[in-house]
Amino acid sequence: MKLRILGCAGSESPGRKAPAFLVDDGLLLDGGTIGAALPQEAQNRITDVLLSHPHHDHVRGLPSFVDNLVVVGRKEPVTIRGSATTLEAVQKHLFNGVIWPDFSRLPCAEAPIIRWQPVAPLVNFQVRDYLVTAFPVKHSVPALAYRLQRDQVSLLYTGDMGPTPELWRSIGTLTTLIVEVSFPDEHAALAQKTGHLTPSLLAQELALLPRLPAQILICHLKPIYEEQIRREIAALQIPGLTILSDAQEFSL
Ligand SMILES: [Zn+2]
Ligand SMILES: [Zn+2]
């Protein structure tokens, strides 16, 4: 499995893009950054998007992406999956004919470029050649983490989440974890209130796993707190941990 980090920041600043993780060129985990990181031919290869939740930083790349696909004349729709509430929110507040056209009726209603596909939590489904399972996580809006499994790889992407003990108890063995840490420990109260993690909260979550994944990839740092979060994470001395940067690539 190939993983390319299109963006991994917890807010926008120069050199820090919104979250989106490209798996094997065709499947996107969240859509915060697409056209700002990928040439058109690479955008054309994306067939599926899994949305963790409808927050702007996780969907903001979608409008230009689907517009680009229509302009180049792609016929095959892109399937955008998420919880029913996430998809409703994105349709109602983003692709609503005001903020942006309704691309589930364009270029024509019979063959639109977007296909919305709601997913239910804790029910396995197939996307391309991955077995996918969605897990509810705590955030300020309903949100899902996604586990992708293929061959020996079991990858979990948490999206945005606050402490969610039940996730770690039900997730099974993971080889790779992409997990957020948005705030430093001094803002633990704010993190809890807004449904995010700090380094210490991450350590508490990981302690609930029977076995640590070999690879723990950290994302969604608020750029203003980046140095502080890096110091606090380093002090935890968690093996196999990497703080992600935009444009990194991994072979899983
Ligand atoms: Zn969020
Ligand atoms: Zn976010």
Task: Give pLDDT tens digits for 107-164.
Answer: 999 999 999 999 999 999 999 999 999 999 999 999 999 999 999 999 999 999 999 9
- Find the CATH number of the domain harbouring 235: 3.60.15.10
Nearest ligand (C-alpha, residue 195): 1
Q: Is residue 120 part of a domain?
A: yes
- What is the enclosing helix (H) or strand (E) of 230? helix 226-236
Calculate how far, in angstroms, residue 245's C-alpha sits from the geometric centre of ligand 1.
19
At a CB cut-off of 8 Å and minimum separation 6, what does 247 contact?
A: 4, 5, 6, 37
For residue 161, tell me if it sits in a domain: yes
Q: What's the predicted TM-score (pTM) here? A: 0.98
Ligand number with the minimum distance to the CA of 30: 2
Rounded to the nearest angstrom, the distance between the alpha carbon of 160 and the centre of ligand 2 is 5
Q: Is residue 252 part of a domain?
A: no
Nearest partner of 131 among 113, 142, 115, 119, judged by Cα: 119
- How far away, in angstroms, is 38 Cα from ligand 1 center? 23
- CA of 128 from ligand 2 middle (Å) equals 25
How many separate domains does the chain show? 1
Do the domain assignments include residue 121?
A: yes
d(C-alpha 182, C-alpha 28), whole Å: 21
Domain span at 73: 2-247
pLDDT digits (tens, 9 = 90+) for 14-55: 999 999 999 999 999 999 999 999 999 999 999 999 999 999
